[in-house]
């Protein structure tokens, strides 16, 4: 029997935030816009550039402005009287979008280019972790093929190979053999990832389950969200190549309240202090990707933004104070923000991708959906486009996701998959075992 569960209402807190701009075009931004539009006092939400599903979100409107157009975004935000800008993707953050918008007088949830190095440079992040005493895998930095191969020769074991810069989530190889390690090194220095691969990081391999922890911060204070677990592999049974994520669930039972507090004390607070020591005023989200090894939680990577499937999973669990909390992060007043309500139930997300993902994908297929959204089930678009005819078509690798909430994971995933049965397009690809770690059926 499914337990009853109360989910956060559309809001009960008094919030000064009224006009919001979300920057980005993925499922993460679709979910953020949906969650912010539900908050009390928010009268308008724009998404730039948005996607084919943005127009279907009540209270939201798309702006045809590229996420890389800093001057266009600044001009539009000022003309629209935007109170808060929420920057979704890592690329614009690394390029200094938050810095430009802040210089123009806007409140921004998202770190400046200096803080975004936490994700934009693996070497920089590893050095900061070492400085802060944050538990992570041993590593070696290399700026040339010969240097990297010399490390491999010396270690004589398979290693994890990471392009130093941003590579759209595709710059990491967890090698199974020395030969695979060597091939990954060659791949990076032959230019597969462009500027992101001008140098690399080699890491010792860790083993254990992975879990994602997100902290909302104003640079001094932080609010932790429920832990989530992503599913990176394209194939069922966690097989095949890595993707940007094929689904997720929250809260991940891998971390209970006590373990999450340990992550705060041993990972997040030391990281925030190390950023401050470097003169970085970090305002946004810190995403810690953790591996729970036999020696405890270790950081695999930091990201300077929300993960995509995890964000879609988490947003429906968060209450109407979210807009006020994000604004407080942007203004450096998080200690004065209302407590963020978090539901006690479960949330499940299943991603539907295009045929060929994560490689070359087919595009332009019409997306057909029957009514599937309810107060406890959502449809978030990602790689879709709305044509002039009004038809929504596929336009990327991960096309959309269905998210559902319930009192237990079996019920939540059953609802998510039932919702996905109401969606159809040619080449539709999804895993039927998302959440296998927590599902009993």
Tens-place pLDDT, residues 232-257: 999 999 998 888 899 999 999 999 99
Is 70 a domain residue?
yes
**Separation between Cα atoms, residue 284 and residue 151, nearest integer Å:** 36
Query: Considering the domain boundaries, does residue 91 fall inside one?
Result: yes
Residues 87 and 155 both lie in one domain: no
The proportion of the chain whose per-residue pLDDT surpasses 70, expressed as a percent, equals: 96
Question: 106 with 146, same domain?
Answer: no
pTM above threshold 0.85: yes
Question: Does 32 lie in the same domain as 99?
Answer: yes
Q: What average pLDDT does the chain have?
A: 93
C-beta separation of 175 from 161 below 8 A: yes
Mark whether 50 and 84 lie in a shared domain: yes
- Residues 103, 45, single domain; the answer is yes
The domain boundary, picked from 175, 203, 231, lies at: 203
Q: Which of 148, 180, 203 is the last residue of a domain?
A: 203
> Do residues 82 and 29 both lie within one domain?
yes
**Residue 8 included in any domain:** no
Q: Are residues 145 and 90 part of one domain?
A: no
Q: Is residue 102 part of a domain?
A: yes
Q: Are residues 74 and 31 in the same domain?
A: yes
Q: What is the pLDDT of residue 10?
A: 41
Answer for the pair 33, 60: CB distance below 8 angstroms, yes or no: yes
- Boundary (domain end) residue, out of 170, 186, 203: 203
E strand or H helix that includes residue 369: strand 368-369
- Outline where DSSP puts E strands in 166-253: 172-174, 200-203, 210-217, 222-224, 229-230, 233-235, 239-242, 247-250
Residue 9: pLDDT band by 50, 70, 90 thresholds?
Answer: very low
Shared domain check, 149 and 66: no
Which of the four pLDDT bands, split at 50, 70 and 90, describes residue 295? confident
Nearest CA-CA partner of 88 in 59, 54, 117, 111? 111
pLDDT value for 15? 41
pLDDT of the residue at 74: 98
Domain carrying residue 188: 138-203
The residue-averaged pLDDT of 8-28 equals 71
**Does pLDDT of 1 surpass 80?**
no
| Same domain (yes/no): 107, 149 | no
pLDDT of 56 reads 81
Residue 167 lies in a domain: yes
Q: Tell whether 38 and 104 lie within a shared domain.
A: yes
Q: Write out pLDDT tens, residues 298-343.
A: 999 999 999 999 999 999 999 999 999 999 999 999 999 999 999 9
pLDDT in tens, 380-412: 999 999 998 999 999 999 999 999 999 999 999
CATH number for the domain that contains residue 43: 3.40.50.20
What's the domain count of the chain?
2
Closest CA to 99 of 370, 385, 304, 365: 304
Would you say residue 266 lies in a domain?
no
* Count of H-run helices and E-run strands, the chain: 13, 24
Spell out the alpha helix ranges (H) of 121-165.
122-132, 145-155
CATH of the domain at 161: 3.30.1490.20
Domain membership flag for residue 276: no
Q: What is the pLDDT of residues 112-155, one digit of tens each?
A: 999 999 999 999 999 999 999 999 999 999 999 999 999 999 99
In the chain, % of residues over pLDDT 90: 88
In this structure, is residue 62 part of a structural domain? Answer: yes
Question: Do 108 and 37 share a structural domain?
Answer: yes
């Amino acid at each position: 029997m499914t337990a009853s569960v109360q989910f956060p209402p559309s809001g009960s807190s008094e919030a000064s935030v009224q006009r919001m701009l979300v920057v980005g075009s993925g499922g993460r931004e679709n979910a953020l816009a949906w969650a912010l539009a539900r908050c009390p006092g928010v009268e308008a939400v724009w998404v730039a550039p948005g996607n084919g599903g943005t127009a279907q979100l009540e209270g939201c409107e798309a702006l045809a402005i590229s996420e890389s157009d800093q001057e266009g975004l600044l001009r539009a935000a000022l003309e629209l009287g935007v109170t808060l800008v929420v920057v979704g993707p890592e690329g614009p953050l690394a390029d200094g979008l938050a810095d430009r918008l802040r210089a123009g007088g806007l409140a921004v949830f998202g770190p400046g280019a200096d803080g975004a190095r936490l994700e934009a440079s693996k070497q920089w992040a590893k050095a900061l972790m070492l400085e802060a005493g944050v538990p992570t895998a041993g590593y070696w930095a290399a700026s040339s093929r010969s240097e990297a191969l010399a490390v491999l020769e010396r270690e004589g074991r398979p290693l994890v190979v990471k392009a130093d810069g941003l590579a759209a989530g595709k710059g990491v190889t967890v090698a199974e053999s020395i030969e695979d390690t060597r091939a990954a090194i060659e791949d990076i220095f032959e230019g597969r990832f462009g500027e992101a691969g001008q140098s690399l990081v080699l890491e010792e391999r860790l083993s254990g389950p992975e879990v994602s922890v997100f902290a909302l911060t104003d640079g001094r204070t932080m609010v932790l969200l429920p832990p989530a677990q992503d599913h990176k592999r394209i194939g069922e049974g966690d097989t095949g190549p890595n993707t940007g994520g094929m689904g997720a669930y929250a809260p991940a039972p891998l971390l209970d309240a006590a373990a999450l507090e340990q992550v705060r004390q041993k990972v997040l607070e030391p990281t925030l202090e190390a950023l401050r020591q470097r003169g970085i005023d970090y305002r946004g989200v810190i995403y810690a990707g953790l591996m729970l090894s036999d020696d405890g939680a270790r950081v695999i990577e930091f990201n300077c933004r929300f993960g995509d499937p995890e964000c879609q999973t988490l947003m429906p669990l968060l209450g109407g104070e979210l807009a006020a909390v994000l604004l407080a992060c942007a203004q450096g007043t998080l200690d004065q923000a209302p407590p963020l309500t978090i539901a006690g139930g479960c949330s499940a997300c299943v991603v539907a991708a295009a045929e060929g993902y994560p490689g070359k994908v087919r595009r332009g297929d019409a997306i057909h959906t029957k009514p599937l959204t309810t107060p406890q089930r959502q449809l978030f678009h990602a790689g879709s486009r709305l044509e002039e005819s009004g038809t929504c078509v596929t336009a990327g690798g991960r096309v959309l996701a269905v998210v559902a909430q319930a009192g237990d994971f079996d019920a939540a995933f059953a609802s998510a998959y039932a919702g996905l049965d109401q969606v159809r397009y040619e080449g539709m690809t999804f895993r039927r075992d998302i959440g296998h770690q927590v599902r009993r059926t």
